[in-house]
């Protein structure tokens, strides 16, 4: 292979090597990457789905356990995508092994795309795990119940977009963090509140007009509703518009990632 091929190809051998490394990094420690969301969601489904769900009326005609499932999938998927990208980049800076890629001929965009793709993949896998947990619990709440997928294409499109978006945010977080605390702060004080107020556990229709309007400023609302539309065929907001805005946002954040890498923000002196 000539040097031209190697360099001209943004998704060539170099990109695939970094992607593989990043995927192996989470696949090889499932107890840190896949077990925690599985356990957390067993708790969510048990408490909210079974115990409380029994006493909560159907929302928009859906049993409560089914109503919250898409939101839980979003919560798990995006926080894991974010965590993977931010932690991997921060850890690489901390131990300086990010030099191994920085001193290689990999294009800045290839480096970013590899981190983002691997992190998004982890988010997707966690999404599947949560659905699997849901499949175990749903029949206990609903006689002969299962998890529907009414709009598979929307589901796929939303899941790919939001995991990519949060992986791309994670790259920014990983470059910005000066210490491990910074990542915890991002996760606990920004991501989690946004998700909880993003309509995971309730429909926007139950809110007063003021809170409803405020909620519409929360990007998580569109993500949760988009994924809910994929599963249940129901959404509080326009799914096509949401998808278009989220795709646009994702592309913008990816562009920021590449610009930061090019500038060497947080990684070179």
Partner 1 sequence: MTAIRADGLVKTYGSVRALDYLSVEVEDGEFFGLLGPNGAGKTTFISILVGLARATDGIAEVFGHDVEDDYQRARDRIGLAPQEFNVDRFFPIHEVLEHKAGYHGIPPAEAERRADEALRTVGIYDKRETRFDWLSGGMKRRFLLARALVTDPDLLILDEPTAGVDVELRRELWELVQRLNDDGTTVLLTTHYIEEAERLCDRVAIMDSGRKVEVATPDELRARGEDTLVVTLANDTIGVPELDAPGVHGVTLDGRTLSVTTDDAGRVAPDVIRALDDAGHAIADLDVRRASLEDVFVGMTRTAEAEVSQ
Shortest distance, CB of residue 90 to partner 1, whole angstroms?
14
Give how far the C-alpha of residue 20 lies from the chain's centroid of Cα atoms, to the nearest Å.
19
- Cα 151 to chain centroid, rounded: 19
CB of 63 to partner 1, least distance (A): 43
Q: Would you give the binding string for partner 1 spanning residues 84-103, x where CB under 8 A is met?
A: --------x--xxx-xxxxx
Q: Does 259 bind partner 1 (CB under 8 A)?
A: no
Spell out, one character per residue from 13 to 52, where the chain touches partner 1: x when CB under 8 A holds, - when not.
xx-xxx-xx--xx--x------------------------
Task: Give the residue, chosen from 33, 41, 107, 162, that forms a contact with partner 1 under the rule CB under 8 A.
Answer: 107
Could you tell me the end-to-end alpha-carbon distance of the chain, in angstroms, rounded to an integer?
A: 33
- Choose one: 12-20, 47-55, 56-64, 228-236; the region binding partner 1 (CB under 8 A): 12-20
- Tell me which of 43, 51, 105, 136 binds partner 1, using CB under 8 A: 105
| 95/208 with CB nearer partner 1 | 95
Closest contact distance (angstroms) between CB of 248 and partner 1 is 29
**Count of residues that interact with partner 1, criterion CB under 8 A:** 31
Residue 6: CB minimum distance to partner 1, A: 3
The neighbouring-strand residues paired with 141 are none
| 1 scored as a contact of partner 1 (CB under 8 A) | yes
Between 180 and 189, whose beta carbon lies closer to partner 1?
A: 180
Positions in the binding site for partner 1 (CB under 8 A): 1, 3, 6-7, 12-14, 16-18, 20-21, 24-25, 28, 92, 95-97, 99-107, 264, 268-269
């Amino acid at each position: 292979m000539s040097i031209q091929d190697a360099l001209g190809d943004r998704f060539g051998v170099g990109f695939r090597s970094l992607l593989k490394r990043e995927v192996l990094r989470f696949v090889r420690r499932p107890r840190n990457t896949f077990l925690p969301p599985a356990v957390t969601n067993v708790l969510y489904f048990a408490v909210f789905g079974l115990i409380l769900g029994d006493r909560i009326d159907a929302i928009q005609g859906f049993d409560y356990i089914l109503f919250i499932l898409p939101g839980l999938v979003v919560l798990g998927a995006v926080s894991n995508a974010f965590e993977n990208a931010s932690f991997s980049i921060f850890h690489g800076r901390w131990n300086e092994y990010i030099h191994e890629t920085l001193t290689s001929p990999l294009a800045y965009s290839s480096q970013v795309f590899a981190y983002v793709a691997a992190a998004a993949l982890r988010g997707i896998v966690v999404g599947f795990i949560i659905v699997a947990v849901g499949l175990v619990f749903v029949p206990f709440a609903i006689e002969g119940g299962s998890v529907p997928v009414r709009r598979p294409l929307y589901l796929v499109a939303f899941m790919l977009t939001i995991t990519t978006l949060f992986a791309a945010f994670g790259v920014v977080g990983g470059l910005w963090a000066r210490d491990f605390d910074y990542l915890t702060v991002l996760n606990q004080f920004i991501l989690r509140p946004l998700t909880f107020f993003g309509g995971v556990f309730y429909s926007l229709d139950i809110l007063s007009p003021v809170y409803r309007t405020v909620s519409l400023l929360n990007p998580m609302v569109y993500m949760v509703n988009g994924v809910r539309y994929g599963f249940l065929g129901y959404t509080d907001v326009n799914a096509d518009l949401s998808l278009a805005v989220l795709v646009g946002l994702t592309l913008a954040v990816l562009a920021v990632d590449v610009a930061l890498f090019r500038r060497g923000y947080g990684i070179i002196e």
